[in-house]
Structure 1
Amino acid sequence: METKQRRLEALVAAARPGDSSHTVWLEPMVSAESGFRSKAKMVVGGTVDDPTVGILDADDRGVDLRLCPLYGTDLARAFPILAEFITVARLEPYDIPARKGELKHIIVTVSPGGELMARFVTRSTESLARLRKHLPWLLDRLPRLVVVTLNVLPEHKAALEGQQEIVLTELDTLRMDMGRVTLHARPQSFLQTNTDIARRLYALVAGWVDEGAATTVWDLYCGVGGFALHCVREGRTIVGVESAEQAVIAARRSAREMADAGQPGALEAAFEAADATAWVRGRPAPDVVIVNPPRRGIGPELAEWIESSGVRRVVYSSCNAVTLAKDLGAMPSLAPVRGRLLDMFPHTEHYEAVVLLERV
């Protein structure tokens, strides 16, 4: 933990040598050592009658990870049944060296309440009829499995999923109770894989936004609306911007449910499917901008807009401290006043961070 903190502080200090000495680093958010992952991206190997669910070794042979301690009880109980289902439905594991077979991955997500979403990633729709035929068997043995899909990845390449998604159940979203807000996880939507840290992060950022008495807030790269929806307050206008249309649909659904439940301000939350950098051009700045970009960071164009926009406060949530530091260097008028390391991935060198910036 100490090593991660030193790396983070050193990157920020190198990017902002004049300001970083005034940055208050809060105590890191520390994850549980085991059972913390809410999403399992399992490679399928072996044979139809003896499948493995986990990873591949250097020779592309399956290594079973059903007993991996990173996954909690709900996921651990599901893995053997999903492996048995491969045999029941005759889903031939994809053989990478031979380039034959069908089933490449099984992606499983668990909600805080223990409900499950399982996605079968295959090379084609050849197995679709068998999936549908034997789905009652699977649902009977996994009664908390509420969303099942077939994802088609025809190309022979190192990718997790394809574009085509066929929903096989009545429900097409997994409800994620994040405390104050229930988010809807659609099959191809991004969600943090450490739900406990994500819950605490959303609450932290909402508190930072509330400190400034903001009446207008933008959440750029908003995903399914986690930050935006936690910042909903009476009299506050919220706009979330996300390029993935399915994520925007999910965010709108959550906002509508909040409004139906009588949450003040929920009707003032709007979500737009657009590129964040293009969307901000020509618009007057809000009181607060929240950014939660992918690993590449927000990039020079958006950083330049934020720098020149006059926005007083920015919250930057980052999964890559290297690009975070680079982007901070491109916004010299906004000083990092507060920061926190998020240790979402114990046992690894990876970490995330969130920084509050204020205009100087």
Structure 2
Amino acid sequence: MKPVTKNDRLVVHVEDLTHDGAGVAKVDGYPLFIQGALPGEEVQIHVLKTLKSYGFAKLIQIEKQSPFRVTAPCPVFDTCGGCQIQHLSYEGQMNFKQKLVRDAITRIGKLPDVPVHPVKGMDHPWRYRNKSQIPFGQENGRVVAGFYQTRSHNIADTDICIIQTPEADAIMAGLKRKLIDMGIEPYEEQTHRGMLRHVIVRKGRATGEIMVVLVTKKKKFPQREQAVELIKSIVPETASIVQNINPEKTNVIFGDETITLWGKDIIEDRIGDVRFEISARSFYQVNPEQTEVLYGQALEYAGLTGDETVIDAYCGIGTISLFLAQKAKFVMGVEIVPQAIEDAKRNAELNGFTNTLFEAGPAEQVIPRWYKEGRAADVLVVDPPRKGCDEQLLRTILKQQPKRVVYVSCNPATLARDLRILEDGGYRTQEVQPVDMFPQSTHCEAVAWLEFKQ
């Protein structure tokens, strides 16, 4: 029998945070998830829902407050789904993220003795995003824009987002005020009516260049010259204004066709000494300051002396590959998205690297062929999506046995799972370094260093 029932009111002690930032309290071992509660707090709650093995409750009042609690500075923090832990001080966030990674490594990876270092965070953990994807819509006859509310496609309307650039704020607010005057109707997802679906704002941190992407339902866009002039007047540093056409009834942001309305097709940025060209749909890390920290950590763990051949699986547009190419004898990158490989080749040429090779295809198929061709790796770097490494790629690593593996992860749970598989195949995890790429959110990246033991 469950120790609580729906509509119960009680005071509980909060023990932990979930991966999405909800407080966790236990009543006779039965977990309750409480949005807004922090570890160490005594809180009065109202039980909303009980399931077989856990339940949900609403925070009514804080009886004893955490020393790490702060007032969230964002005006829509309670409704917007972009940030989960603005109410936790940055010191508290760093403690939480280190524990998140350590708990995953211990509980899922069964590796309690692997050192998990304190998180490398930011001096100023605000205004860090160099890319903003802003949905536009209508509500009671007025234009709304901002970010989606938690677990919904309802827009939390705002003119300010304090983790994105001031330029993105200015464009979001300026377009919102002028859209109807220009005769541009915001898109309605439910009815599939309207024109403007999303506005994407990208900024090169090192160059200051701005790209604005207008995602529209139709290609025909009579007011586009007016829109271009408005954007240029709002942010004079704008270097590129692009239209992407997405006619489908879908919540996928981009369509297949992209055309340049004004300015350049791409903008440029630098991470360290490496230059990158960024197009409307290029994958590029959204926090360039911490990307340099993350990739610097990967480079340190790779331990390159200039004599090594490196394989970069999941190489994307070559960001990590080109960082490694500064120190390696030769770097080979593989990525399943052909356009990303074209971007990687172009970025290698842009920087004058002649010691790189990029190929499109599944890593688990391309890498074994490279080995058969005599292209063995001394160091293998993986930077997989949240679901972790493909099982076949892990089998390939265990078969080919590169001396060192550097695993860059955006999901502690799948990192821990994959480390366990590699450990069972003869690797030993030396250490793990978390890096805070997304302050104010619960997401945490980490870099692990593994060595093969004969």
Letter in 1 for 2:272: G
Task: Identify the match of residue 215 of structure 1 among 308, 319, 333.
Answer: 308
Contact 1:121 1:153 in 2 (8 A): yes
Distance 1:124 1:204, change over 3 A: same
For residue 51 of structure 1, what is the aligned residue in structure 2?
143
Structure 1: 5+ residue runs without aligned partners?
A: 260-265
Q: 1:120 maps to which residue?
A: 214
C-alpha distance 37-234 of structure 1, shift in aligned 2 (>3 A): closer
Q: Indicate whether 1:35 and 2:127 are aligned.
A: yes
Matched, 1:10 2:65: no
Q: How does 1:27-176 map to 2 (within 5 A)?
A: 27-31=118-122, 32-46=124-138, 50-56=142-148, 62-84=155-177, 86-87=179-180, 89-112=182-205, 113-127=207-221, 129-132=222-225, 134-176=227-269
Report the structure, 1 or 2, having the larger helix content.
1
Q: Higher Cα Rg: structure 1 or 2?
A: 2
Displacement of 1:182 = 1.2
- Contact kept, 8 Å, 1:304 with 1:330, in 2: the verdict is no
- 1:88 and 1:150 map into 2 onto residues whose CA distance is 20
One-letter identity of the residue aligned with 1:116: I
Secondary structure at the aligned position of 2:369 is classed as coil
| Matched letter for residue 380 of structure 2 | V
* Greater Cα shift, 277-286 or 131-140: 131-140
Q: Is the 8 A contact 2:98 2:118 kept in 1?
A: no
Runs of 4+ residues deviating >6 angstroms: none
* CA distance in structure 1 between the aligned counterparts of 2:276 and 2:417, rounded to whole angstroms: 31
- TM-score w.r.t. length of structure 2: 0.71
| Counterpart secondary structure, 1:323 | helix
Query: How far is 1:242 from its partner?
Result: 1.6
Find 1:270's aligned residue among 351, 357, 366: 357
Amino acid across the alignment from 1:306: I
Q: Which residue of 2 aligns with 1:281?
A: 368
Of 222, 227, 245 in structure 1, the residue corresponding to residue 320 of structure 2 is 227
Shift of 1:54: 0.7
2:406·2:450 contact (CA, 8 Å) conserved in 1?
A: yes
**Percent identity of equivalent pairs:** 26
Q: Is the 8 A contact 1:175 1:183 kept in 2?
A: yes
Q: 1:197 to 1:243 in 2, by over 3 A?
A: same
Aligned residues: CA RMSD = 2.5
User: Which amino acid in 1 is paired with 2:294?
Assistant: L
Q: Secondary structure at the match of 1:68?
A: coil
- Deviation of 1:346 (Å): 2.3
- Greater mean deviation of Cα atoms: 89-98 or 292-301: 89-98
Residue aligned with 1:55, SS: strand
What secondary structure does 1:267 align onto? coil
Aligned residue identity for 1:330: I
Distance 1:143 1:52 in 2: 24
Greater displacement, 316-325 / 131-140: 131-140
Q: Distance in 2 between matches of 1:39 and 1:3?
A: 25
Q: Give CA-to-partner distance per residue, 1:215-243, whole Å, 9 cap, x none.
A: 21111111121111111237711111122
Deviation at 1:47, TM superposition (A): 7.5
| DSSP 3-state at the match of 1:350 | coil
Change (3 A) 1:311 1:235: closer
Deviations 1:74-97 (A, max 9, x none): 333333334356346432111123
1:190 partner SS: coil
Check the 8 A contact 1:224/1:247 in 2, yes or no: yes
> Whose RCO is larger (CA < 8 A, sep 6+)?
1
> Is the 1:217–1:289 Cα contact (8 Å) retained in structure 2?
yes
Residue 327 (structure 1) aligns with: 418
SS in 1 for 2:310: strand
- Aligned counterparts of 2:328 and 2:177: Cα–Cα separation in 1: 53
Deviation (angstroms), 1:328: 1.6
For 1:56 and 1:210, how far apart are their aligned partners in 2? Answer: 42
Aligned match of 1:206: 299
TM-score, normalising length: structure 1: 0.88
Letter matched to residue 392 of structure 2? E
Give yes or no for contact 1:49–1:87 (8 Å, CA) kept in 2: no
Structure 1 residue 247: Cα displacement:
2.1
Matches of 1:203 and 1:235 in 2, distance apart? Answer: 14
